Structure 1
Amino acid sequence: MSKFKNKKNTQLPEISTASLPDIVFMLLFFFMVATVMRNDTLMIQNMLPYADQVEKLDTKLIMNIYAGKPNSRYRDMGSEARIQLNDKFADIKDIKAFILAERALKRPGEVPFLITSLKVDKETKMGLVGDIKKELREVQALKINYTTNRGEAKDNFNR
């Protein structure tokens, strides 16, 4: 007799799927933790200007106001600079209601620390920015941040 047996007649054992749910849940948790959710969908062009004295804000108490020309998907809105609040185009008069609604969502102790961040395209005229600031003054939203890219101010003219 030979030491080695012929294994042609034996069948392969079935693959165990007992650990499959564990693997699926590990992947699910990984993607839930690693994925960053986008707050706003930009409907405008937003090429931020450059500045050399930039600081990062450490707070989560920020309200974003975007301003710029509508991007290529929204050309039917015109070619003039527009204001975007959350995911909607807005007029100057809508800023007050936006600020008051954002304040209502926060706890009373957080309201004095709210910062309004203006993310304005570098091609936008300052008249629109002045109108936005006027509306913010009327609702006492006096903490304003201008969002920029880090770089030299002279780069605003080269690009």
Structure 2
Amino acid sequence: MSKFKKKGNGDLPAISTASLPDIVFMLLFFFMVATVMRQNTLKVKNELPYADQVEKLDKKDLVMYIYAGKPSERYQSTFGKEARIQLNDKFADVKDIQQFIYTERESKREELVPLLTTALKVDKETNMGLVSDIKQELRRAEALKINYTTRKGESSKNNE
């Protein structure tokens, strides 16, 4: 006589889905906290040129972005078709760059100010005169760490 009895069939019990809503909400909260929302809405055409010798920036929070290019089709009726400068979410003139740099410096902690880099995201069809004017204003604001943002690839693709 045995003390243990075998079950009639060896089926596995059904998987409990009681904790499934908890897992879904936990994932939802994780992605809500971990996702970085876009900071700026791009108002200028920004097709970056190609470069074959590129380096990646380490700390993106220490970068100030200056966009330059022709206004996108949505803004051409208001701002024309000539290349413009965009600082954060608004169009600006060259003379506004210095104030933009000072404002960005004030928003950072004092020990991080020497590490700030200015990144120029310039459309490949923008004339060099505008870029030169931007660089002159950056010199006046003593923002001497400049990065030109490009796409990785053969530089011969820029002529196409």
- TM-score where L is the length of structure 2: 0.83
Give the 4+ runs in structure 1 shifted more than 4 A: 18-21
1:7-156 pair list within 5 angstroms = 22-23=22-23, 25-33=25-33, 35-60=35-60, 61-76=62-77, 77-156=79-158
Report the Cα distance in structure 2 between the residues aligned to 1:21 and 1:151, rounded to whole angstroms: 46
Structure 1 residue 59: deviation in Å? 1.5
Q: Which runs of 5+ in 2 are unaligned?
A: 1-17
CA distance in 2, matches of 1:114, 1:123: 27
Indicate the larger mover: 32-41 or 128-137: 32-41
Q: CA RMSD in A?
A: 1.8
* Amino-acid identity (%): 71
- Give the structure-1-normalised TM-score: 0.83
What do residues 82-134 of structure 1 show as CA deviations (whole Å, max 9, x unaligned)?
Answer: 00000000000100110000000001110011000000000000000000000
Unaligned runs of 5+ in 1: 1-17
CA distance in 2 between counterparts of 1:118 and 1:100 reads 17
Aligned residues: 142
Any idea what SS the aligned residue of 1:116 has?
strand
More helix by share: 2
